[in-house]
Amino acid sequence: MYSILLRSGTVLASLLLSFSVQAAAPTLVVYSYDSFTSDWGPGPQVKKAFEANCECTLELVGLSDGVAMLNRLRLEGANSRADILLGIDTNLTAEARASGLFDTHGISLESSALPNPWQDDLFLPYDFGYFAFIYNKEKLHNPPTSLRQLVEDADGPTLLIQDPRTSTPGLGLVLWMKKVFGEQTDQAWAKLAPRIVTVSKGWSEAYGLFLKGEADMVLSYTTSPAYHLIAEQDARFAAARFAEGHYQQIEVAGLVRSSRQKPLARKFLEFMISDEFQKIIPTTNWMYPAIAGNEVLPAEFSQLIDPSPALLLDEALVASERKSWVDEWLEVMSR
Amino acid sequence: MNIPRAIPASLVLALLALLVLAPMAGLLQLSALPGFEAADLRIWENAYLRRVVGFSLWQALLSTLLSVLPAILVARAFALQPGLPLRRMLLGLFALPLVVPAVVAVMAVVSVYGSDGWLPLGRKLYGLNGILLAHVFFNLPLAVRLLLPQWHAIPQSHWLLAEQLGMNHWQRFRFVEWPQLREALPGVLLLVFMLCLTSFAVVLTLGGGPRSTTLEVAIYQSLRFDFDPAKAVVLALLQLALCMLVAIFTLKLQRMPEVEIAAATPWAGKSKAAQWFNLALILAATLYVGMPLLSLLIDALRGPLLRVMFDTGLWLAFGNTLLIGISAAVLAASAGWFLLAYSAELAQRGHSAAARLVDLAASSVYVVPPLVIATGMFVLLSPRVDVFDWVYPVVISINALMGLPFVIRCLGPAMRQNHARYHRLCLSLDLRGWNRFRHLDWPLLRRPLGLAIALVAALAMGDLGVIALFGSTRSATLALLIYQQLGAYLVAQATVTALLLLALCLGVFVLLEHLIGGSADAAA
Write out the DSSP string of B405-467. HHHHHHHHHHHHHHHHHHHHHHHHHT--HHHHIIIIIHHHHHHHHHHHHHHHHHHHHH--HHH
Contact residues, chain B, for A331 at CB < 8 Å: 48
Q: Is the pLDDT of residue B1 over 50?
A: no
CB contact under 8 A, A204 and B221: no
Q: If pLDDT is split at 50, 70 and 90, which confidence band does B269 have?
A: low
Q: If pLDDT is split at 50, 70 and 90, which confidence band does B3 have?
A: low
Size of interface A-B (CB pairs under 8 A): 174
- Residue B383 touches chain A, beta carbons under 8 Å: yes
Per residue in B102-160, pLDDT tens?
A: 778 888 899 999 988 898 888 889 999 999 999 999 999 999 998 998 888 888 888 88
Chosen for mutation from A32, A64, A223, A284 (greatest number of chain B CBs closer than 10 Å) is: A64
The phi-psi region of residue A293 (left if phi > 0; otherwise alpha if psi is between -120 and 50; otherwise beta) is: left
Residue B247 has a pLDDT of: 87
CB contact under 8 A, A197 and B388: no
CB contact under 8 A, A7 and B114: no
Q: CA-CA distance, A220 to B28, in Å (whole number)? A: 37
Q: Each residue of A145-179: b (16+ CB within 10 Å) or e?
A: eebeebbeeeebbbbbbbbbbbbbbbbbbbbbbbb
What secondary structure, in 3-state letters, does A169-230 show? HHHHHHHHHHHHHHHHHHHHHHHHHHHEEEEECCHHHHHHHHHCCCCCEEEEECCHHHHHHH
Contact residues, chain B, for A237 at CB < 8 Å: none
Q: Which of A20-29, A141-150, B219-228, B385-394 has the highest mean pLDDT?
A: A141-150
- Looking at CA atoms only, how far is residue A35 from chain B in angstroms? 6
- Residue B310 touches chain A, beta carbons under 8 Å: no
- Smallest CA–CA distance from B326 into chain A, residue: A3
Contact residues, chain B, for A47 at CB < 8 Å: none
Closest CA to B464 of B110, B99, B24: B99
- Residue A129 touches chain B, beta carbons under 8 Å: no
Q: CA-CA distance, A268 to A52, in Å (whole number)? A: 12
- Residue A34 touches chain B, beta carbons under 8 Å: yes
- Smallest CA–CA distance from B490 into chain A, residue: A40
- Looking at CA atoms only, how far is residue A290 from chain B in angstroms? 20
- Residue A1 touches chain B, beta carbons under 8 Å: yes
ipTM of this complex prediction, to 2 decimal places: 0.84
Nearest to B393 among A4, A209, A323 (CB): A4
Closest CA to A156 of A237, A219, A215: A215
Residue type, A33: Y
Closest CA to B264 of B519, B12, B82: B82
Nearest to B204 among A99, A163, A193 (CB): A163
Angle between helices B229-252 and B47-79 (to 10 degrees): 40
Higher pLDDT, B170 or B432: B170
Q: CA-CA distance, B68 to B142, in Å (whole number)? A: 9
- Residue A163 touches chain B, beta carbons under 8 Å: yes
The mean predicted confidence, pLDDT, of chain B is: 84
Chosen for mutation from B205, B216, B321, B377 (greatest number of chain A CBs closer than 10 Å) is: B205
How many beta carbons lie within 10 A of that of residue B301, not counting itself? 11
Nearest to B225 among A34, A165, A213 (CB): A165
Give the whole-number percent of chain B exceeding pLDDT 90.
20
Residue B44 has a pLDDT of: 67
Per residue in B60-109, pLDDT tens?
A: 999 999 999 999 999 999 998 888 888 888 888 888 887 777 778 888 89
**Cβ within 8 Å of B, A 214-253:** 214, 224, 227-228, 231
Chosen for mutation from A38, A99, A162 (greatest number of chain B CBs closer than 10 Å) is: A38
Residue B40 has a pLDDT of: 65
Please report how many Cα atoms fall inside a 13 Å half-sphere around the Cα of residue B76, on the Cβ side: 23
Q: Is the pLDDT of residue B327 over 70?
A: yes
pLDDT tens sequence for chain A (335 residues): 344 444 444 444 444 444 444 456 899 999 999 889 888 899 999 999 999 989 999 999 988 888 888 888 988 888 888 999 999 999 899 989 999 999 999 998 888 999 888 999 999 999 999 999 999 999 999 999 999 999 999 999 999 999 998 888 999 999 999 999 999 999 999 999 999 999 998 898 899 999 999 999 999 999 999 999 999 999 999 999 999 999 999 999 999 999 999 999 999 999 999 999 999 999 999 999 999 876 778 989 999 999 999 999 999 999 999 989 999 999 899 87
Residue B472 has a pLDDT of: 61
pTM of the predicted protein model: 0.87
Counting runs of H as helices and runs of E as strands, what totals does chain B give? 23, 0
- Smallest CA–CA distance from A79 into chain B, residue: B383
- Smallest CA–CA distance from B487 into chain A, residue: A204
CB contact under 8 A, B487 and A34: yes
CB contact under 8 A, B484 and A14: no
- Residue A36 touches chain B, beta carbons under 8 Å: no
Q: CA-CA distance, A67 to A23, in Å (whole number)? A: 33
- Residue B394 touches chain A, beta carbons under 8 Å: no
CB contact under 8 A, B396 and A3: yes
CB contact under 8 A, B205 and A200: yes
Closest CA to B252 of B201, B344, B182, B197: B182
Sequence-distant (6+) residues with CB within 8 A of B336 are B362, B404, B407, B408, B411, B452
Per residue in B488-504, pLDDT tens?
A: 888 888 889 888 888 88
Nearest to B484 among A2, A35, A227 (CB): A35
- Looking at CA atoms only, how far is residue B344 from chain A in angstroms? 24
Determine the longest span between alpha carbons in chain B, in angstroms. 76
Q: Each residue of B280-291: b (16+ CB within 10 Å) or e?
A: ebbeebbebbbb
- Residue A75 touches chain B, beta carbons under 8 Å: yes
Q: Which of A252-261, B114-123, B298-307, B386-395 has the highest mean pLDDT?
A: A252-261
- Smallest CA–CA distance from A58 into chain B, residue: B473
- Looking at CA atoms only, how far is residue A147 from chain B in angstroms? 20
- Smallest CA–CA distance from B483 into chain A, residue: A204
Give the whole-number percent of chain B exceeding pLDDT 70.
91
Chosen for mutation from B477, B489, B495, B496 (greatest number of chain A CBs closer than 10 Å) is: B489
Inter-residue contact B193 to B64 (CB < 8 Å): yes
Residue A307 has a pLDDT of: 95
Name the 3-class secondary structure at B267. coil
State the average pLDDT over residues B216-240: 86
Nearest to A40 among B205, B469, B485 (CB): B485
